[in-house]
């Protein structure tokens, strides 16, 4: 008998019909009869779940278009973490939903992020490390040889003392992928108190103290999304500016931690 074995099952039991419409003033970047592109704000959960029954993106989408109740997951094709800002695509019809899901699986939807990480990673890099649920902390993810394939590409935009402004492109879409991969190479995202290692905290203690009044979330922004429209085959490319909190930190780094200063 294996008395010490623990099996954890995570089930999302939320159904579309149980999601209440709410006017959340969603920022719509693009919309046609088949899909829309949303610029998600920080603090917004994408889909209802335990602890987050309302005020999610799904609630706002249903308020905007009640017909989305007929679409799987109210048309949400991919997710962003609660405190990650930026672009995501939503299907408005069943046909466009399954075609967009297919494009995502084939890696034909390009998603480019910007973030600020601790330390000085290589100017260009590729992280190919499988990701799965953490063995102990089941709400978290970790690099695990038995996990699903995950690939993250990155380019350093600008380096500062202690920190770097980085552009990241996802080839796969695992939960918390960028956060887990950047931590794995010992360059965790600024403000990501969930995935900091003890070693990272010691290294970054001085710089972290400088940002106490500014950083209240992982500084990660889904800046650009590109794909061919699932119904018209027209190339779509949309970019949104960095949010204010990230711009403030970058300005701060340029003023006080730039190698040119």
Separation between Cα atoms, residue 246 and residue 86, nearest integer Å: 12
Question: Which token pair is 159?
Answer: 């380096």
32 is catalytic: no
Return all residues near 163 (Cβ < 8 A) that are at least 6 apart: 116, 117, 118, 119, 190, 207, 253, 257
Question: Which token pair is 19?
Answer: 């999601």
Separation between Cα atoms, residue 156 and residue 141, nearest integer Å: 24
Separation between Cα atoms, residue 48 and residue 51, nearest integer Å: 8
Catalytic one of 5, 12, 32, 81: 81
Separation between Cα atoms, residue 73 and residue 75, nearest integer Å: 5
Residue positions annotated with a catalytic role: 81
């Amino acid at each position: 008998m294996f008395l010490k074995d623990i099996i954890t099952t995570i089930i999302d039991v939320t159904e579309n019909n149980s999601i209440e419409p709410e006017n959340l003033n969603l920022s719509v970047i693009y919309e046609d009869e088949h899909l829309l592109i949303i610029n998600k704000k920080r603090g917004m959960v994408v889909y209802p779940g335990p602890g987050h029954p309302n005020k999610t993106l799904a609630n706002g989408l249903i308020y905007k278009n009640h017909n989305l109740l007929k679409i799987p997951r109210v048309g949400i094709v991919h997710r962003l973490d609660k405190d990650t800002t930026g672009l995501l695509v939503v299907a408005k019809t069943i046909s466009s939903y399954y075609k967009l899901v297919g494009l995502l699986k084939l890696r034909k939807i390009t998603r480019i992020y910007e973030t600020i990480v601790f330390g000085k990673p290589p100017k260009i890099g590729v992280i190919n490390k499988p990701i799965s649920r953490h063995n102990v902390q089941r709400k978290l993810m970790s690099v695990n040889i038995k996990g699903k394939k995950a690939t993250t590409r990155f380019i350093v935009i600008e380096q500062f003392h202690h920190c770097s402004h980085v552009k990241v492109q996802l080839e796969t879409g695992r939960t918390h992928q960028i956060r887990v991969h950047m931590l794995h190479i010992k360059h965790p995202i600024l403000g990501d108190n969930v995935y900091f290692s003890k070693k990272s905290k010691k290294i970054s203690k001085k710089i972290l103290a400088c940002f106490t009044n500014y950083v209240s979330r992982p500084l990660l922004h889904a800046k650009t999304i590109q794909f061919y429209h699932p119904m018209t085959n027209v190339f779509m490319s949309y970019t949104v500016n960095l949010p204010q909190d990230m711009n403030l930190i970058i300005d701060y780094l340029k003023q006080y931690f730039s190698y040119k200063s």
